[in-house]
Amino acid sequence: MLRLSANAHAFAKGLPLVLLLALASSQRLAGAQPSPTVPASVLEAEQQHERVLAHQQRLEGILAEQSARIARLKRQQQGLQRDAQLQRALREAQSVAARLDALQQGSVKRARALLEQTYRQALAAPIADRDLRARLLERQARLRATASKAPTRIVVGVTAGPLDDADDLETKADLLRDSADKVERELRAVRTQLATLERRATLQRHQAAASSDLFIEEAPRWVAQARSSVSASTTTEATAGAGNSPLSPLAGPTEGQPSYARPDTATDSTGPAALDAPKGLGAASTAFSTPTASTSPGGARSATTNTPAAPSPTLVTTTTVTLASVLDPATLRELERALRSGNASAHADALRRAAQRLEQLAGRLKLQSQALRRDAERERRSP
C-alpha cells in the first residue's frame, strides 16, 4: 500500500510536465498555418499550356527528322527512286510544317493568352502571402520571356517542282501566302513604332533649336513643354519595351508590336546557293526546298520557269528562316546602336530601312504565291 501511494505520488508529480509539453505542442501545431497554394485556375491553365507546348515540341522533332532525311536524300545520286522518295519526304515535311504553324498560330497563342490572363487575375486578387505573390510574378515573367524569345518563322524560296501536282502547288502557295501575312503584320508594327520615333525626333529637334536660341528667355513656357513632351515620350517607350530584346524597341509578347530580334542560330547554308542569296537571308534549314529541274523533252515543268520577277535582284534560295534573318546585319547593328544611344533620328532611319526590306519581302512572297496558284489551276485544267 505504501509502495502504491509512492508510485501514484511520482506519477502525479510528473503529470504537470507532460501536460505542459502536450499544451505547447498543440499550440505550436495550431499556430503553424499551411502556406497558401497556387490557385487551381492557375494550375489548370499551366497544365493546358504545357500540354500544348509538348505537342509543339513533338511536331518540331518530327520536322527536324524530316529535314535530316531530306538532306540525306539530296546528297544521293539522282534517279527515279531517289526523286520519288525526295518528293514524298518534301510533302510530309510540308504537311508537318503546316500543322506546326497552325498549332503555333492557334492553340499555342490561345493557351498562352489564357495563362497570362489567369496570372493577371490571380495577382489582382488580394494575396496575403508574399511568397505566393512572388512565385506568381516569377511564373508570369518566365511566360513573357518565353513568348518574347519565340522567333517568327517564315517560308521563302519555295518553287514548283517537276513532280508537283495541283495539291502540292496549292500547299506551297498557302505557305508563301501565310509567310507574306506574317511579314505584313511585322511591317505594320514597325511602321507604328516608326511614327512614334518620328514624333519623338521632331520634339528633340525643337528642343535643341530652342536651347540654342539667343532669345530663349522669351519662350520659357514653350521650352518647358517641349522638354516635358520628350521626357514623357521617352518614359512611355521605355516602359512599353521593358524586358524585351535589345533589338526590339517595343517588341515582346504584346500583339501588334515588332518582334524582330537577333537570330539565335547561325546560317547553315553553304555553297554557291547560299552566296547568291540576298545579304541577311542566310538562316535556317532547307526543309521544304525543291530541287531545281530543267525542262525535259517530255514536257516536264521546270522548277524555275513560272517563278515571277521579284523585287529583289536575286532569288531567295533558302527556305525556312526567322523574320530577323531577312534584315541585313548592318541594319540590325544600327538598330542596336540607336537603342543604346537613345537617338530617335538614328533609330527611325534604321527602322525605315527595316520597313523597306520587309515590304520588298512581302511583295515577293505574294508574287510567288500567286504564280504557284496559277500553276495549280493550269495543272487541274490539263488532261
* Span 252-261, average pLDDT: 42
Is the confidence at residue 268, as pLDDT, over 60?
A: no
Is the confidence at residue 57, as pLDDT, over 80?
A: yes
Q: How confident is the model at residue 51 (pLDDT cuts 50, 70, 90)?
A: very high
pLDDT digits (tens, 9 = 90+) for 84-117: 888 888 888 878 888 887 888 788 889 989 999 9
Contact between 95 and 166 (Cβ < 8 Å): no
In angstroms, the CA 297 to CA 38 distance is 70
| Alpha helix ranges (H) inside 285-343 | 329-341
In angstroms, the CA 352 to CA 372 distance is 31
Is the confidence at residue 221, as pLDDT, over 80?
A: no
Three state DSSP letters for 5-57: HHHHHHHHHHHHHHHHHHHHHHHHHHHCCCCCCCCHHHHHHHHHHHHHHHHHH
Name the amino acid, one letter, at 291.
Answer: P
Mean pLDDT of the chain: 67
CB atoms within 10 A of CB 99: 15
How far, in Å, are 75, 274, 330 from residue 283 at the CA level? 20, 9, 16
| Alpha helix ranges (H) inside the chain | 2-31, 40-75, 80-103, 109-124, 130-149, 166-211, 220-240, 272-276, 329-341, 344-381
Is the confidence at residue 297, as pLDDT, over 50?
A: no
Place of cell 505584313: 184
Is the confidence at residue 226, as pLDDT, over 50?
A: yes
Q: How confident is the model at residue 229 (pLDDT cuts 50, 70, 90)?
A: low
Is the confidence at residue 20, as pLDDT, over 70?
A: no
**pLDDT higher at 241 or 371:** 371
* Class of residue 369 by CB neighbours under 10 A (exposed 0-12, middle 13-18, buried 19+): buried
Stated length of the chain: 383
Share of the chain above pLDDT 70, in %: 56
Sequence-distant contacts of 344-349: CB under 8 A, at least 24 apart = 344/197, 344/198, 344/200, 344/201, 344/204, 345/201, 345/204, 345/205, 347/197, 347/249, 348/194, 348/197, 348/198, 348/201
**pLDDT higher at 240 or 283:** 240
* Span 151-176, average pLDDT: 77
Please, which residues bridge with residue 320 across strands? 155
pTM beyond 0.85: no
pLDDT digits (tens, 9 = 90+) for 24-42: 555 544 444 444 688 888 8
pLDDT of 129 reads 82
* Span 238-256, average pLDDT: 39
Share of the chain above pLDDT 90, in %: 5
Which residues are CB-neighbours of 198 under 8 A, at least 6 positions away?
Answer: 344, 348
Is the confidence at residue 189, as pLDDT, over 60?
A: yes
Q: How confident is the model at residue 55 (pLDDT cuts 50, 70, 90)?
A: very high
Is the confidence at residue 163, as pLDDT, over 80?
A: no
